[in-house]
Structure formats: C-alpha cells, structure tokens
Amino acid sequence: MIQIKHLFKTYGEVDSGAHALEDVSIDIADGDIVGIIGMSGAGKSTLVRCINLLERPTSGQIVVDGQDVVGLSGAALRAYRRRVAMIFQSFGLLSQKTVLANVCFPYLAATGKVTAENRARALELLDLVGLKEKAASYPSQLSGGQQQRVAIARALACEPEYILCDEATSALDPASTNTILKLLRDINRETGVTVIVITHSMGVVEKICRNVVVLDHGRVVEQGSVADVFADPRSDAAKVLLERVDWDA
C-alpha cells in the first residue's frame, strides 16, 4: 500500500514560493482503483508525479509497503519506478520505434537487452489490449485510443504493482475513453494491480473508481468512497466538479 504523509511540494523559494501541494496525506490500499480529482492547477499531476518521483517532494513521506521512497536514487529508484508504472495524457510513446519496441522498452530499461522471451511477453500484452496485429506499426499509424492502449501494454511490461494514470483519457473521445477505462478496470480485476487515476472528470471517477480524493489548491478537501462523495459532496470543489452548483450564479 502507498501511504502519503504530510506531503509538501513548493516551487521556487521554500518560504515565498507557491505551494503546489500542502500537507497532503492519503492512504491508497492495494487492489483499489482510486481517483484523484481536482480542477486544473489543483496539484493532482504534481501529486502523481511525486509518487513515482518524476518530481521530488519538498517535504513529507511516501511510504510504499513500509519503505519511504522519497530518498531513493540510482538503481533503487529505477527499480521502484517499475513498480509504479505510469501512463500519460499524450501517451508518451517513442515515435521512431515500433509498437512492439515501445512495449519492450521497460525490459531494455531494466536489463539492457530485450530477449525473445521478453518479446513473446510483449506480444501477449499487446494481445491483451487488442493490438497484437499492430506490433510492427509505428505510433503515428495508430489512433489516440490505440496509442493509449499501447502505453498501457508498456506500463504492464514493467510488471507493476501500481499504475498511475495522469489524465490518461483527457485527450480521447468518449468511445476511446470507455475502452481505456474498461481495460484498466479489467486489468485491476484480473491482476489486482492498484490503479491511481488523475482526472478532472467526475464521469471517469464514477465509471471505474471505488475511492476518490478531491484536491483543491494543493490540499485534500474531501476523501472517501465514490458512493459517499457523490451522494453528499461537502467541499466546494467537489460540488463544482459534480456540477451541483448553479453555473450561472
């Protein structure tokens, strides 16, 4: 499980700079699908990028299965990053590599080579996301939804315990969004991988998340089960995100 404890992230000078995250504490249970929702600039991307240490928190702890990961560096950091794979809003695929080579990249990153076994596993993963026949294509030949499925296959090649989704469906049309969300839900059910979904869309949270954390101006303003928060949103941010306010007021 991931325990985020009193996390602060400040850009610029510590005392005068802007707080992107202020005293954020969240527990994420294994096997959960948790949504982290907030308006643009609420700090949700910063939070998820702190979890896999693409950004270093200014202070606070991120405890994964009892170990504080904030201080990790070198090989330990790289091994940890494979435990928390990530998918991105604009997919982050390598445009000069084939779909198969993209999915094989985590093996290359981990061991410096790609074995025949790795390639066979990558093809299985591509089959899982329904794109086995696209293995030899390049990302530019795929639609956005297909590219995100390749990115999911690549994330799975890390054999992760957690998958971080940073606005993974925000660039996609509703049909592709549903495909991606279903895929994430099925993977969660079948493998028990924990999924952390960053989004500004309550629709996404409603479809796949069990628990939700509402961020506003870098602070956690509400958290609980999706059923509870949807039934009785208390924070202003949650009310706006659920469109429970008179927009014309």
Partner 1 sequence: MLNELAAFADEYGELLLEGTGATVVMLIVPTLVSYVIGLALGVVLYLTAPGSLRPHPKLNAVLGWVVNICRSFPFIVLMISIIPFTRIVIGTSSGILGTVPPLVLSTSPFIARMVEQSLAEVPRESVEAVEACGASTPRVVFSALLPEAMPSLVRGVAVTLIAVLGYTAIAGAVGAGGLGDIAIRYGYYRYQTEVMIAAIVILVVIVQVIQSVCDIVARKVDHRTQG
Least distance from C-beta 76 to partner 1, angstroms? 10
d(CA 189, CA 31): 8
Shortest reach from residue 95's CB to partner 1, in Å:
5
Q: Which is nearer to partner 1, 86 or 208 (CB)?
A: 86
- Distance separating alpha carbons of residues 173 and 169, to the nearest angstrom: 8
The CA distance from 98 to 119, in Å, is 12
Q: Within 13 Å, how many C-alpha atoms sit on residue 42's CB side?
A: 23
User: Least distance from C-beta 111 to partner 1, angstroms?
Assistant: 10
- Which parts of this chain interact with partner 1 (CB under 8 A)? 52, 54, 78-82, 85-86, 88-97, 105-106, 108-110, 112, 138, 140-141, 151, 154, 158
Nearer to partner 1, 117 or 246 (CB): 117
Query: Least distance in Å: CB of 133 to partner 1?
Result: 17
What tokens were used for 160?
Answer: 């992760």
Q: Which is nearer to partner 1, 92 or 224 (CB)?
A: 92
Of the pair 47, 226, the CB lying nearest partner 1 is at 47
Nearer to partner 1, 86 or 125 (CB): 86
Residues 6+ apart with CB under 8 A from 74: none
Assign 210 to helix, strand or coil.
coil
Q: How many helices (H) and strands (E) does the chain have?
A: 9, 10
Report the nearest approach of partner 1 to the CB of residue 34 (Å): 19
CA 166 and chain centroid, separation: 4
